[in-house]
Amino acid sequence: MDELWPVAAVNGVRVTLDCSSDFSRLVRAGGRRFSSLIFRTLESVLSLAERGSVLRIEMGGGAEDGADGAWVRICWHAGMRSAEFSRPELGLVVAQAGWERVGAKWERECTGTLETVMVRLPGVFADTSS
């Protein structure tokens, strides 16, 4: 996220982060792969978010949630609809493919201007090497 704070500032998007204490332990073994996927996802979402809005990132899983794996939920208010094949939309499709390749379940929901992506990582993700 450190590399994306300046992008958020330039785009006028405020970011909130809520991460459970178990989350980092669950995905630590997948380090580089996970970092790359979350970076690509957040970079695309920041480009899609409406100026002056809030991007909410929540991460959890493990014993705290009674879950076998981990999850990431990203919510944002979309700005003007960009073309279906815009660079940020394509980036999100590439991110989705990456998540699904490691066995994650990807869900994207749009309600008005509020968009939500939920990524559910299976417990085995925590055991993969980077």
- CA-based end-to-end distance of the chain: 19
Q: How confident is the model at residue 2 (pLDDT cuts 50, 70, 90)?
A: confident
> Domain range holding 14?
5-127
- Residue bearing the bigger pLDDT, 31 or 74: 74
Domain count, the chain: 1
Q: What is the pTM of this model?
A: 0.82
User: Helix, strand or coil for residue 82?
Assistant: coil
Contacts of 122 (CB under 8 A, 6+ apart): 68, 69, 103, 104
Q: What is the full DSSP assignment across 91-108?
A: HHHHHHHHHHHTT-EEEE
Give the domain CATH number at 95: 3.30.565.10
Pairing of strands 14-19, 54-61: parallel
pLDDT at 128: 43
Instruction: State pLDDT tens for residues 49-92.
Output: 999 999 999 988 765 555 567 889 999 999 776 667 789 999 99
